[in-house]
Structure 1
Amino acid sequence: MNTQILGARETGSVQVLALTLALLLLLLAPAIWNGYPLLQYDTGGYLARWYEGYLVPSRSTVFGLYLHFGQGSWFWINLGIQALATLWILQLTLRVLGMRTPFFVAAISLVLVATTALPWLASMLLTDIFAGLSILALFLLVMHGERISSAEKWLLFGFTAFAAASHSATLGVLLGLCCAGLMLRPWLGPRIPLSGIARGGFSLVAGAVMLLATNFALSREVAWTPGGAGVAFGRMLQDGIVTQYLRDHCPTMKLKLCPYRNELPATADDFLWGGSVFNTLGRFKGLNDEMTFIALHALVAYPGRQAEAAIAATGQQLLHVATGEGTTGWVPHTYAIIERYLPGQVGAMRAARQQRWQLNFPAINRVHIPVALGSMLALLAILGHACRHRRLDDVTLLAATVSLALFGNAFICGVISGPHDRYGARLTWLATFTVLVAAAKAFATDEDEGYGLRNRNSSTPVL
């Protein structure tokens, strides 16, 4: 009998290991097919932080060090970490929600791979994969600390801190969720433990300390990652607010942009990253103080127009969900950084399918866009159904968390940077995940539930 039990356990372990490996390969299928990790416009800026030793707008030194750590493996270590973190957090969330069987993990993971941006995010050298995963990590850390082990809590704590340090928008969304939890606690009581909010809050503090320490180590400056005001200036420029401010104030003020007020480009991207007057006046180094001044004073000067622009930008950002923005065959700055600091990888980079223009995101988005938009609508339906029946179960809490994260992300990114598909695609897969969880819980048979309960007391390994 003991031999039979050991044999069954060994068989189960082999099956779980094989399934785990298969799912990891599927999560990295875009990079494997490409022949090199996927690159994006911003990748080079992060990678250069180790080599250049100074701070640049919107490029976290923490994420730069993470890329530097894996560059000797041609960044496959980074992709391996991203895929493992994705699968671990997905299975941990499902386990906490009572869906412990390998079947649920595999089925939901396969649907996410086939219909969402998730494998493309996991295969890319960019912070975006951590933005979505950190929402689930914070959800587990705050809401379900009693259902996970101490080791898992520490791992989630460290992961959330790293994600917060990797991008200011991610930190803003996570901070907003913690504040929302604190405000809702009087009504939800023990469903949002005070100890959980404390864990989540301290993880964000740790992330802020991590970023400040890394900035100091690389640049000898105790400073936050610069660029927020400059990016906000770009959004105001795109909305016509900067042009109005210059028109109203140039007659009485001496600003560097006044002589060019009738020549400013129509979009923030053209101003910041095209061959505009921004380059003529010294880019961020030459214009950052003036852009900050105009952005702050324009908030006071035109509050009504700013509010209208913010509402419009948030709504537009919620609809910008296409996969692949900035991941084309032409990312010149990233190419230049790799050629300058990693010349040994230039051949592999140039030979990749991305650099030969073989990525077809329009075809991919024929699936991804309707799935993302449909999932967000279904998320609202889940919350509406829960409110109607006054039900506050785990799925409802997950749906509420993801909905708040999507809205907070749309507000922060839309208002500060302007609507971009990249900002939506990095989080909308969470809506699809939540809808799949709700459907699985609704249609799970008694036998499925029984199997899950038996697994809780079984020593057979699960994903």
Structure 2
Amino acid sequence: MVGPNTGGYIINTQILRARLTETRSVWVATIAIPLLLLAPAFWNGYPLLQWDTGGYLARWYEGYLVPSRSTVFGIYLHLGERSSFWLNLGIQALATLWILQLTLRVFGLARTVRLVPISLALILTTALPWLASMLLTDIFAGLSILALFILVLHGGKIATLEKCALFAFIAFSGATHSATLAVLLGLCCVGWMVRPFLGKRIPAISLLQGSLTIVAGAAMLLAANFALSGQLAWTPGGYGVAFGRMMQDGIVAQYLRDHCAKENLKLCPYRNELPPTADDFLWGHSMFDKLGRFEGLNDEMGHIVVRSLAEYPAWQAKAALAATGDQLVHVATGEGTNGWIPHTYGIIERYIPSQVAPMRAARQQRWHLDFTAINRVHVPVALGSMVIVAILFGYGVWRRRRDDLTLLAGTVTLALLGNAVICGVISGPHDRYGARLVWIATFVVLIAAARLLGDRDRDELSSP
């Protein structure tokens, strides 16, 4: 016999089963996605290392500042040493999952049926898992852009505790690398400039909170520098890196030819022997070593950088434009992640001898890493994603849309352009600088596709 409430009971049972299924799916995704993000490290048998990793590891032990090596990130790596750095990779994977699902949530796409395929697409077609599996600051570059977007434009959709966590995460991310901090600062500046035109879409209090993350990140870096070195100073290296890029473009050689007759410069005897690239000059065995490296040449490099900017403005502008364009298309995965990283090996052997055996046993140290096949997928996906995101942004501006997707596409487009200017012009174009950020363009494309499919599903359900 069927009672009058049987229909309601069946409906409630179906709802309960659906909720239980979704809960199970959430837990499976919460476990599976971080593990898949770390698949390269699991395959390698050890966290992936890069040429720059050693410089960060050494900060805790050496107690002095070196160019372009954040003490904040050095302390972060030191905390994971006893776990063979798997603690660091776990944090990076969980932070990635957190930011991905939080972004999808503010876009109304947080259900597991959306999170899982989007995450898998990013894992299979972008550098994201390689960044999460590596002991390097790069994973925090793209994540901090998304975190800043959420905090500023969608702070009202998340809990206070989440906003505090985002604030701390953005500040930490900016403190790990000056280029990341500069991109975040640039986005905040653009936010203040366009706010009069967007009004309530960018709440002043949220933009102020986002801007204060830059201040907090800078304070964090200064505090860490003081704690480890006793110097209340910014991480050095700006002039040296810019000098390397100008040398690569031929500007330094021209300056030396024009001025060595009247200026007593240390580099004058080597003006016809300068290496062809900045990497060869700064990190190879060049006259840079003979002349005392950064300590011995920093003042002279700064002098040449400043004077050459004034004396060759057209050349500098042309070189900067070319470097920016070149950086935009340098997006291949894996630069600097191979078996030839002697500095990093040396630092680990000197300061963390307990890690030598597992490090040496890893596939990377046996030269089993090859990104050729991977980049046959990653590079076209990255370049195509950048084009599509720029089109989404341009179309939204043309149609005068102020929706979330247009604002996210605009944020990512500006971040990619700002990153290309900062890294290309100052450091010179490198694939690593592009790969660490361009995956967020693919993420935007996947969000747009998910929204389009969702709209089609609703249209089909509502049609007679």
TM-score where L is the length of structure 2: 0.95
User: 2:18 and 2:320 mapped to 1: Cα distance?
Assistant: 59
Q: For residues 181 and 397 of structure 2, what CA distance do their matches in structure 1 show?
A: 29
CA distance in 2, matches of 1:7, 1:109: 25
Contact 2:152 2:209 in 1 (8 A): yes
Aligned-residue CA RMSD (Å): 1.6
Partner of 1:96: 106
Task: Give 1:139's aligned residue.
Answer: 149
* Aligned mates of 2:177, 2:370 — CA distance in 1: 28
Instruction: Find 1:73's aligned residue among 77, 83, 86.
Output: 83
Aligned-partner Cα distance in 2 for 1:374–1:442: 18
1:311 to 1:256, Cα distance in 2 relative to 1, 3 A: same
Q: Which of 421, 437, 449 matches 2:431? A: 421
1:296 aligns with 2:327: no
Q: Does 1:253 align with 2:263?
A: yes
Instruction: Look up the match of 1:150.
Output: 160
Q: Kindly state the Cα deviation for residue 3 of structure 1 after the two structures are TM-superposed.
A: 9.0
Matched, 1:283 2:287: no
1:315 and 1:250, CA in 2 relative to 1: closer, same or farther beyond 3 A? same
- Cα drift, residue 6 of structure 1: 6.9
Overall identity of the aligned pairs, in %: 69
1:274-302 Cα offsets, whole Å, 9 max, x none, are 11000111111111111111111111111
Instruction: Tell me, yes or no, if the aligned pair for 2:22 and 2:112 is still in contact at 8 Å.
Output: no
Question: 2:37, 2:93 within 8 Å by CA — same for their partners in 1?
Answer: yes
Which amino acid counterpart does residue 416 of structure 2 have in structure 1?
A: L
**Match in the other structure for 1:340:** 350
Give 1:193-212 correspondences, 5 Å limit.
193-212=203-222
The answer to whether the aligner puts 1:176 opposite 2:163 as a matched pair is: no
Q: Deviation of residue 74 (structure 1)?
A: 0.3
Separation of aligned partners in 1, 2:351 and 2:399: 59
1:13-28 equivalences under 5 Å are 13-28=23-38
Please tell me the residue identity of whatever aligns with 2:130.
W
Matches within 5 A, 1:381-460: 381-445=391-455
Query: 1:391 is matched by which residue type in structure 2?
Result: R
Distance in 2 separating the partners of 1:385 and 1:130: 29
The higher radius of gyration belongs to 2
1:353 and 2:363 aligned:
yes
1:188 matched to which residue of 2?
198
1:323 to 333, 341, 361: 333
What is the Cα deviation at residue 224 of structure 1? 0.1
CA distance in 1, matches of 2:410, 2:76: 31
Task: Indicate which of 333, 349, 365 corresponds to 2:375.
Answer: 365
Preserved contact between residue 126 and residue 381 of structure 2 (Cα < 8 Å): yes
Q: Deviations over 1:47-75 (max 9, x none)?
A: 00000000000000000000000111000
The amino acid across from 1:63 in the alignment is: F
Consecutive unaligned residues of structure 1, counting only runs of 5 or more, are 452-463
Alignment counterpart, residue 44 of structure 2, candidates 34, 37, 59: 34
Q: Higher relative contact order by CA 8 Å / sep ≥ 6: 1 or 2?
A: 1
**Distance in structure 2 (CA, Å) of the matches to 1:215 and 1:12:** 46
Q: CA separation of 1:450/1:347 partners in 2, compared to 1, >3 Å: closer, same or farther? A: farther
Aligned counterpart, 1:60: 70
- Cα distance in 2 for partners of 1:92, 1:134 equals 12
**In 2, distance between residues paired with 1:288 and 1:226?**
9
Distance in 2 between residues matched to 1:5 and 1:375, nearest whole Å: 38
Partners of 2:314 and 2:391 in 1: CA distance: 32
2:117 paired residue number:
107
Cα pair 2:183 2:415 within 8 Å, conserved? yes
Letter in 2 for 1:88: W
* Deviation of 1:12 (Å): 3.6
Q: Secondary structure at the match of 1:444?
A: helix
Partner residue of 2:388?
378
Aligned-partner Cα distance in 2 for 1:388–1:191: 18
After superposition, the C-alpha distances for 1:206-242 in whole angstroms (9 at most, x for unaligned) are 0000000000000000100000110000000000010
Name the counterpart of 2:6. none
Aligned length: 451
Match of 2:4 in 1: none
**1-structure distance, mates of 2:233, 2:319:** 30
Deviation digits for residues 346-379 of structure 1, max 9, x if unmatched?
A: 1111111111111110110000000000001111
* Other-structure match for 2:177: 167
In the other structure, the counterpart of 1:124 is: 134
Partner of 1:265: 275
Q: Which runs of 4+ in 1 moved over 4 A?
A: 1-11, 445-451
SS at match of 1:48: helix
Structure 2 gap ranges (5+):
1-8
Question: Secondary structure of 2:332's partner?
Answer: coil
**Amino acid corresponding to residue 16 of structure 1 in structure 2:** V
SS state at 1:262 partner = coil
* Inter-partner Cα distance in structure 1 for 2:459 and 2:290: 65
User: Does 262-271 or 7-16 show the bigger shift?
Assistant: 7-16
State the one-letter code of the partner of 1:307.
A
Structure 2 CA distance for partners of 1:448 and 1:361, relative to 1, 3 Å: farther
Q: 1:402 is aligned with what amino acid?
A: V
The equivalent position to 1:48 in structure 2, one of 58, 74, 98, is 58
294-303 vs 64-73, greater mean Cα deviation:
294-303
Distance 1:448 1:215 in 2: 54
Task: Check if 1:219 corresponds to 2:229.
Answer: yes
